[in-house]
Structure 1
C-alpha cells in the first residue's frame, strides 16, 4: 500500500570494504534467480476482458481486448516447498534462503505492477548484477564500538565492518540497524528509528510544475519554491551531452569517456540539489505531512517533442521520494487539481496565462494556488481516512 503513515524513518549509507566475496555474491545471485524461475514457472495466467478507449474529436470510442493477468503463487505450502528446494546444495547460512525468496517475490511483484500498467512485457525477470541481501537475523551491531558483524557461514566465516570513523556514525549510533546490501567492494547499510506522529499536526499540499513547487500551508499560506536552477543545470548538461552524442562516431573511446564524465556530473549535481532542497523543506516544516500528486509522466506525453524534453527534465518523483527519507509523504489523485473550483467544486475554465475562471462563482484564480489548495484538501481527507484505520480520529489542518 503506497499511502500509509510510516512508523519509522530509514536512512541508508554506503561504505567500502576489502573482502573478496565474489563467489558469495554470484552464489546468492544464482539462488535468487532460481527462486524467480520456480515462482515464474508456477504463475497462473488468467484471461480478463479489458475495456479501452481512444479519443475521436470530442468523443471517445471504445474497444475490448483480452489480457493475461498473472496470479503469483504465495500460499504457505508453495513457499515451504520453494524453501526446501533452494536449501538443496546451499553452503551458506540458511537465512540467506529467506532473503533470496524475499528478493524474488518483491522483484516479481514490482514487475507485475508495471506489467498491469502496460510498462513491462510478459517476460521473466533476469538478475544481472551480483549482490547479497543480508537479513537482520544475520547481523550483530555493537553500537559502542561501531562494529557490524555479518554471518556468512555460521561459526566459520564472518564479515566485519567498522563504521566508527564514518562521517554518519554520530547521527545513527543510537539507531537500530536494518538490512544490508553487499556488493563487490561496498556495502549499503540501513538504520531505522521510530517515528513520532504526535507532533504531525500540519497538512501541506504540494503542486508540481515544470520549474517550481507550489506549496499550500494552512498557516503560512501559498509558498513558491523556485526550481529554475535545477532546470538550468539539466539544460546546460543536456546541451553538452547532445553535442557529444552528435560527434560520437568520430572518436568513440574519447567521446565515450567524456559522455560518462558529464552524465555522472549531471546526475550528481541534480542529486545534490534535490537532497539540499528536501532537507530544507523537512527543516522548515518539521511537523508536517507532505501531500504530492501521484503523477505519471508516461500518461502526459503527447506529440510535442519539445514538451517531452521539458517533461523529462522535471524531478517531481525524485523530490518526493527523497523527501520520504526525511518526513512523511502521501500521494493523492492528480485529476483536475488545478481545474476544480476551491469555493464551489465546479470545473473551471483555463484562461490566458496561469489564470482559471469559475463560471459558477464568477471568480478567477491562480492555477498554481488552486492546485496546491486542492491537493491540501484531498490530503486532509486521505490522512483522516488512514488515521481512522490506524489509531482513530484526530484534528488535522492548521495545528
Structure 2
C-alpha cells in the first residue's frame, strides 16, 4: 500500500502506517512529494509541459516500489495507491496519467471530491477529482503573473531570474493559491503527465486499469462555515447564484436545530460538493472499472485539529484517517474500537485481494449499474449497504446543477 498524502497539495506529509501494517498484513509505504508552488509551478520559459512535478514525484516513488519492494517481502505486482483529500485527487491523477500505467493495480480515493461545485472556491485552487483543471496555456498565464510579482516580469531570462529568487519568497507569493498572482499550486492539464482532467477521463473511460474504492463523508465540507442566518443566505447566494432560491427551499433553516445556519450550510456544501459528485463519479467509473463505494456515516470520530471543535462537525472530511493511522494502543470506546478494526481490515483486505469483504467485515458488493449501493460506514458493527444516498442528499437536483 502506497499512501499519497492529502493537504490541498500545500500541506502535511507522510503518516505512520504501523496500524495498517501490523493489523492488515500489508507493507505500507509513505512518500514525500513536492508541494505548492514547488510542486506545480508552470511557466512558458520553463519549457513545454512544465509543471506537475508533484505528480511526477509520486510516480517516481511508485517506480522505486516496483524496483525494490520485493526486498521487503512485497509484491510489485500487487500495489495499491490510496490517499485522502488531495491524496484522493492524486489517486485520480494517477488513474489518468499514461506514465502511471502498470505502476499500481488498485486505488482508494478518500474524499477526493471537495472543490466547490460551481467554482466559487474559498479554500483551494481547482484540484479535486471533479474540478476543471487549468490548461497548460492558462497555467502559463498564471505563471507569468507570478513571475512578475516576484520581480521577474519582462526580463530576458525569466527562468534564470526565478531560480535566483529565495525559495521563501516564492512560497510566500504563492500563499494559499487563491491570489491573482499565486501561480499554480495544484495539477495542470499539461497534455503529457496529465492529458485530461480526471472528470473528463472518468466520464469517457480514458483511465488506467485498476480496481477502485471511492469514498466520501456524509458531512464532507471544505468551505467556510455559516455562523448566522444572514451569513447562511450570503454564502448560498455566493455559491449557487441563480439556484439560490431553490437551495433555500430545499434546505430551510427551520428544518435544522441550532446552530441552524452552521448545520444547514454544512449539509448543503457536503451534498453539493462532495457526496453527490462522488456518487455520480462512481456511476461513471463503474462503466469502465470495478468500483466499491462507501460513505462515512460515523459522527463521533476523534476530533481533528483543523476543525472548530465547538461545532457539530458530524461525519467530517477524511475522518476515517483517525482510525487508519492512530498509534497502536490508542484508547477508543467499544463502539469505535470495533469500527477501527473494521476499517483496517477493509482497507488492507482490499489491498491484498481487490475485495474489501474479508473476515471480520460486513458484505460489501461492487457498485454497478444494476446494484448502486454504497457501504455506510458506522461504528459498533452497524455498517450496512444502502441505496438511499442519492435521495438523502438530493443528488438529482445537484446533478442537474452540475450539468448546467
TM-score normalized with structure 2 length: 0.24
TM-score normalized with structure 1 length: 0.24
Structure showing greater Rg: 1
